[in-house]
Amino acid sequence: MSVGVIGAGAWGTALAQMLASDGRDVLIWAREAELVAEINSARTNSLFLPSATLSDTIRATGDLGEMAGLDALLVVTPAQHMGSVLAAMPDHPRDLVLCSKGIEAGTGRLMNHVARDAAPGSAIAVLSGPTFAHEVAAGLPTAVTLACAEGEEQWDRIAPLVARQAFRPYFSDDVTGAEIGGSVKNVLAIACGVVDGLGLGQNARAALIARGYAEMLRFGEALGARAETLAGLCGLGDLVLTCSSTSSRNFSLGKALGEGRKADELMADRKTVAEGAHTAPVLVELAARHAISMPIVTAVYDLLKGDEPRAVVSALLSRPLRAEQGSAE
């Protein structure tokens, strides 16, 4: 099967490098003409993944038409642009593997719904889990959830395409759960960064991860995700990774907020996308629509609107005491 990657940011480039590790040809699409030229001539991506020297079997293109003829595509665009990029393609492959973590602003659609509408003839899968791009590109051991909307038949087709000695997918058919885990954890990672930036300590971070995971479960189950999916690599696993390291763009954004920098300045200054900043307001809206209590997610939204970090934390800590288990906050 022929394979390509749509999106040459850090994660897309790392996935292309992983796919090429067995010697296969990999086509990667980039929007920037200068990046296409750099990948093809220098075998580097100095803009998004400067640590990697790319395989000779990776070829970059700026033509979406070239991607349409492949058997399978890993879609790694920023979540808010996935729909427009897929809609711009003249045709679509049999399998689309969605690797972007987010929820579409304005519509509240998960990425698998966006992809189904843009490419109704393609089978949809979601690849998600605890993955730092630079580690995947370096060939360090990584495990992910590969959720296949068409079940084991689709898994049998695409798992051999992405599995490598150091890149191990695990089967699921819960695409909703796989998506929600990654989307919610991006917002929670911002909160953990704020805790770090304010110097609130390891106890506070651990509490936030646990209570944030409770919010992820409530939201996911309300939208049809399975709890066991969110307890796996794409939920709890991803949450643990990105809530404790400045290698996470979302954690780094939160840390800067906690240190006193302004949200609008930080967002304007970032060449890479911290998806959690775009997901937070959508989550708050969906949580209100479904009557789901998500106080930590709401606090992140308040911080991104410009509220003072210590005041937001104080408000969180001042909420009424309650039982640990249950649907209330």
Paired strand residues for 168: 143
Q: Would you say 293 and 328 are in contact if contact means Cβ atoms under 8 Å apart?
A: yes
d(CA 175, CA 111): 10
d(CA 111, CA 124): 10
Tell me the CA distances in angstroms from 128 to 142, 177, 184, 204, 278, one per residue in order. Answer: 11, 10, 12, 26, 18
Active site residue 305: no
Q: How many Cα atoms occupy the beta-carbon half-sphere of 178 within 13 Å?
A: 25
Strands (E) located in the chain: 3-6, 26-29, 58-61, 72-75, 95-98, 123-128, 142-148, 167-172
Q: Would you say 118 and 136 are in contact if contact means Cβ atoms under 8 Å apart?
A: no
Instruction: List the catalytic residue out of 185, 255, 271, 305.
Output: 185
Active site amino acids: 185
